[in-house]
Structure 1
Amino acid sequence: MVIEANNPVKALYTMEEIIESLEEHKAVGVTELAEIVERPQSVVHNHLATLRELEYVVKEGPKYKLGLKFLQRGEIVRNRLLLYAEGAPAIRKLAKETEELITLIVEEHGRGVYLDVVQDSVDIQYPAIPGTRIRLHCSATGKAIMAYMPEDEVDEIINQHGLPAQTDETITTREDLYEELDAIRERGYAYDRQEFREGMRSIGAPILDEKNNILGGLSIAGPTHRFAGDRFETELPKKLLQSVNVVELNYNEPDIR
């Protein structure tokens, strides 16, 4: 974590650790939660009581869990983003046409955030849900976004988050990543060949505004046995770029529809 505040409020860091722990463990009692975050039980109890009063956590018996107020806040933020609103119709159309997993990702604080996730077929259950944060360097969409970011911003992301291996195929060196980003700019889209998840491939393309600033990225993902040959190399990239073109037109000219 990069600390920029001159006088950071330590209580907020404690609150964030508590919220993250509740997210990970679903429902936890005060004693167990105090051990997880390594804080006194009294401190943890006070935070939980305050969060409960503000309706951010719910108490069931002796245990606490996250409340739905987080959903309310997240939906408000998401619905304020023009990219989400203008991209939704094209994304759902692409999911229906391909019967694969479609994700819309934006960059925030050096990570990719799933803004929208659509799956027309349910034969495979993917863990992707809106709001999930991922590393950019190991996904097709993330690499597509990085390829169109200023180089100093890419360097900052690498310095802050590193290039850890997510699978045996993940790019883990700065030199290899920059070579890959050059190829993406030349091709216009990115490939993920089991770099994010074993047994899964994806194709990602950048979404740009009228001044060629990066807005986010769109991807088609699925199992390796369906993402092979001409479908992977030609058919799906063509469909993806067509959808990106529609999203860009709608974003840059919202009244075009």
Structure 2
Amino acid sequence: MTQPPESRPGRTIRSVEIAFSIIDALERRDGAGVTELADRLDHSKSTIHSHLRTLEELEYVVRKGDEYRLSLQILGMAEHVRDQVGNYDVIEEEVDALADETGEIAQFGIEEHGQVTYLHKASGEQAVETASSVGAQQPIYATALGKTILTFLPPERIDEIVSATEFVAHTSHTITSPEKLYDEIETIAERGYGIDDEENIAGLRCVAAPVKSESEILGAVSISGPKSRFTDDRIHDELPEFVTRAANVIELNTKFS
């Protein structure tokens, strides 16, 4: 879990924190007014109003009546960030194909700030809804994508992330200690793929394979579905083949691009 601003080392600028907390709240709520934001973020209306006026002047938010929403300038920034990831077109194509082939949710994630961030998500015909979305972050220790990426990071980066992690039990299956997480890392390294066995969402299981370029981990690709379809036999025999094949295609395109 990312540390709150007040617990991070080094000096931070309060006004910047407030501005980005407003942007985050507007994104989560699809727009809001000054009073609602002030109550939600625990700041005075004057503080929120001043920040909103500044963001509006900079064209990062748009005001409609008494409500503010994010502007399309944010979309342009998001597309720029996405395009910085090598071979995004190949990732998108393979994740979409994986979702079509399995009928489930397929995703690609990368590690940022010690968490797993979703770069692309696709839903097949049988897909169940999950809380994940493009750009969203999830605990690296409670997801197949996260644990798989973590396994193939440099040892010093693994230790850095694990030591900074605040373990929270999202379900009764969640890993809640560094020792168990290191054991899981060893298991994933041996078998070559990771599993989320109802660790982040009750009733949902997931299988992920690493995407590497030589010795560097670029991210991981996964498929998720209900435990009724993701049985023990499928999750260890059939499903790893799907994600491994997709990962290999992305790796090859990265290697020869």
Aligned amino acid, residue 141 of structure 1: L
Q: Secondary structure of the residue that 1:17 maps to in structure 2?
A: helix
| Identity across the alignment (%) | 36
Q: Does 1:143 align with 2:174?
A: no
Q: 1:241 aligns with which of 217, 240, 244?
A: 244
**For residues 4 and 146 of structure 1, what CA distance do their matches in structure 2 show?**
23
Q: Which runs of 5+ in 1 are unaligned?
A: none
C-alpha contact 1:166 1:195 (8 A) present in aligned 2: yes
Q: Does 1:23 align with 2:27?
A: yes
Alignment of 1:90-169 (within 5 A): 90-121=94-125, 124-169=128-173
C-alpha contact 2:127 2:225 (8 A) present in aligned 1: no
| CA deviation after TM superposition for structure 1 residue 123, in Å | 5.0
C-alpha contact 2:62 2:71 (8 A) present in aligned 1: yes
Aligned residues between the structures: 252
Q: Secondary structure of the residue that 1:128 maps to in structure 2?
A: coil
Worse-superposed segment, 237-246 or 26-35:
26-35
**For residues 4 and 85 of structure 1, what CA distance do their matches in structure 2 show?**
37
Alignment of 1:64-79 (within 5 A): 64-79=68-83
| CA deviation after TM superposition for structure 1 residue 236, in Å | 1.1
What value does the CA root-mean-square deviation take over the aligned residues?
Answer: 1.8
Q: Secondary structure of the residue that 1:82 maps to in structure 2?
A: coil
| CA deviation after TM superposition for structure 1 residue 79, in Å | 1.6
Aligned amino acid, residue 164 of structure 2: Q
| CA deviation after TM superposition for structure 1 residue 33, in Å | 2.0
C-alpha contact 2:211 2:220 (8 A) present in aligned 1: yes
Q: Which runs of 5+ in 2 are unaligned?
A: none
Q: TM-score, normalised by structure 2?
A: 0.91
CA deviations 1:157-212 (Å, max 9, x no partner) are 233332211111001011111011001000000111100111110101111112x2
Aligned amino acid, residue 191 of structure 1: I
**For residues 113 and 124 of structure 2, what CA distance do their matches in structure 1 show?**
30
C-alpha contact 1:83 1:215 (8 A) present in aligned 2: no
1:183 match: 187
Aligned amino acid, residue 109 of structure 1: H
Q: Secondary structure of the residue that 2:118 maps to in structure 1?
A: strand
CA deviations 1:47-86 (Å, max 9, x no partner) are 1012122222222221222233222211111022114233
Q: Does 1:198 align with 2:191?
A: no
| CA deviation after TM superposition for structure 1 residue 148, in Å | 0.7
**For residues 176 and 122 of structure 1, what CA distance do their matches in structure 2 show?**
33
Q: TM-score, normalised by structure 1?
A: 0.91
Q: Does 1:60 align with 2:102?
A: no
